[in-house]
C-alpha cells in the first residue's frame, strides 16, 4: 500500500491533467451551445431545420429598417374583371347592339338633293335618306321621294319585308311644274280667244281697212291666236311632264 507522501505528490499532476482536458473541451462545447441558441451565425443548408407547417412560419418576415412596405393592391370593382379589356372590345357584361331589322333600301336618283321620306302621324313626312344612300327601314311604313325644291312622288310601300329593295327616282322641280301650269293656262286662254274671234268673224260686216274686211281681220286674228295657244300649250304640258317626279321600286 503506497504511503501518504506519494499520494500528495501525484494529486497536483492529476489536477493539472484534468484542467488541461477541460480547457480543450470547453471551446468545442461553447460553439455547440452557441449554435443551438442561434448566437454563432445561421446554420448551413445541410444542417438547417425544416420549416414548420404552421401558418406562422409562412408569414413574411418583418421589414428591415429602411425598407419600404409594398402598397396594397386594390380589389377589382364588382361586375368587372381585374384585367382591363383591350381597346375596341365589348365586355361580356355589356349588351350587344341589335342587328338592323327590315329590308335594306338603296336609293338612286337623278338629282343629288333627293330624299327618301317616311310618313309619320297624319301627313307629316320626314327625311331619312338622301343621295345614293343605303338604309335599313321598316317594311310597314309609307314612303315617297321628295326634297326642298323638288316635286314629291306618289306615296309607295316597300314590296318585301326583308332582303334588298332598290328605289330609283326621276325627280322634277317645283319651278318647272308651276311654270308649265302657267304656260298651259295661257295657251288655254289663247285658244278661247281664237274661238271667240272666229265666231265674230263669221258675223262681221264692213271693212276693217281699205284692203281688209272685218271678216278677214277677225279670221286672221283667230288663226294667229290659235298658233300662240298651241305653242303655249305645248310648252306648258312639256314643263309639267318634266317637272313631275316618279319612283320605281323593285
pLDDT tens figures, 185-221: 999 999 999 999 999 988 888 888 888 888 899 999 9
Do 122 and 159 reside in the same domain of the chain?
yes
pLDDT in tens, 17-28: 665 555 555 555
Where among 170, 188, 215 does a domain terminate?
Answer: 170
pLDDT per residue as tens digits for the range 96-147 = 344 466 799 999 999 989 999 999 988 899 999 887 888 888 889 999 999 9
> pLDDT above 70 covers what percent of the chain?
60
Q: Which of 116, 149, 170 is the last residue of a domain?
A: 170
Residue corresponding to grid cell 281699205:
210
> Pick the residue with more confidence: 230 or 30?
230
What total number of domains does the chain contain? 2
Q: Is the pLDDT of residue 42 over 60?
A: no
C-alpha cell of residue 234: 305645248
Is 63 inside a domain boundary? Answer: no
Is 210 or 238 the better-scoring residue by pLDDT? 238
- Tell me, yes or no, whether 139 and 178 share the same domain: no
Burial class (CB within 10 angstroms; exposed 0-12, middle 13-18, buried 19+) of 23: exposed
101 within 8 A of 127, measured Cβ to Cβ: no
Q: Are residues 204 and 240 part of one domain?
A: yes
Residue 239 has pLDDT above 80, yes or no: yes
Bridge partners, residue 118, by sequence = 126, 143
Q: At 98, list the grid cell.
A: 341589335
Question: Are 183 and 139 found together in one domain?
Answer: no
Mean pLDDT value of segment 84-105: 50
Residue 146 belongs to a domain: yes
In a domain, residue 191? The reply is yes
Q: Are residues 165 and 194 in the same domain?
A: no
Strand extents, DSSP E, 13-142? 104-109, 115-119, 125-130, 134-136
Residue that is written with C-alpha cell 314590296 in the block: 159
Contact 224, 197 (CB under 8 A): no
Q: Looking at residue 3, what is its pLDDT?
A: 47
Judge if 191 and 132 occupy the same domain.
Answer: no
Cα–Cα distance between 63 and 68 in angstroms, integer? 8
pLDDT at 72 over 50: no
Contact 103, 162 (CB under 8 A): yes
- Strands across the sheet with 164-170, in order? 134-136, 104-109, 164-170, 246-249
Identify the domain boundary among 170, 196, 222: 170
The residue segments making up the domain with residue 108 are 104-170
**134 with 156, same domain?**
yes
Amino acid at each position: 500500500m503506497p504511503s501518504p507522501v506519494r499520494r500528495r505528490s501525484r494529486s497536483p499532476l492529476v489536477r493539472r491533467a484534468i484542467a488541461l482536458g477541460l480547457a480543450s473541451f470547453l471551446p468545442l462545447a461553447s460553439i455547440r451551445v452557441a449554435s443551438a441558441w442561434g448566437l454563432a451565425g445561421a446554420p448551413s443548408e445541410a444542417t438547417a431545420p425544416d420549416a414548420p407547417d404552421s401558418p406562422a412560419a409562412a408569414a413574411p418576415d418583418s421589414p428591415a429598417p429602411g425598407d419600404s412596405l409594398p402598397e396594397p393592391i386594390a380589389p377589382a370593382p364588382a361586375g368587372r374583371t381585374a384585367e382591363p379589356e383591350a381597346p375596341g372590345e365589348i365586355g361580356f357584361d355589356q349588351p350587344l347592339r341589335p342587328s338592323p331589322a327590315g329590308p335594306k333600301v338603296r336609293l338612286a336618283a337623278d338629282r343629288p338633293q333627293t330624299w327618301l321620306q317616311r310618313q309619320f302621324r297624319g301627313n307629316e313626312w320626314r327625311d331619312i335618306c338622301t343621295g345614293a344612300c343605303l338604309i335599313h327601314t321598316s317594311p310597314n311604313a309609307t314612303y315617297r321621294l321628295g326634297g326642298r325644291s323638288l316635286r314629291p312622288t306618289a306615296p309607295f310601300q316597300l314590296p318585301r319585308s326583308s332582303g334588298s329593295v332598290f328605289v330609283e327616282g326621276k325627280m322634277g322641280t317645283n319651278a318647272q311644274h308651276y311654270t308649265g301650269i302657267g304656260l298651259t293656262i295661257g295657251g288655254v286662254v289663247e285658244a278661247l280667244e281664237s274661238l271667240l274671234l272666229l265666231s265674230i268673224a263669221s258675223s262681221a260686216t264692213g271693212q276693217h281697212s281699205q284692203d281688209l274686211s272685218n271678216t278677214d281681220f277677225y279670221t286672221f286674228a283667230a288663226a294667229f291666236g290659235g298658233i300662240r295657244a298651241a305653242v303655249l300649250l305645248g310648252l306648258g304640258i312639256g314643263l309639267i311632264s318634266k317637272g313631275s317626279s316618279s319612283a320605281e321600286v323593285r
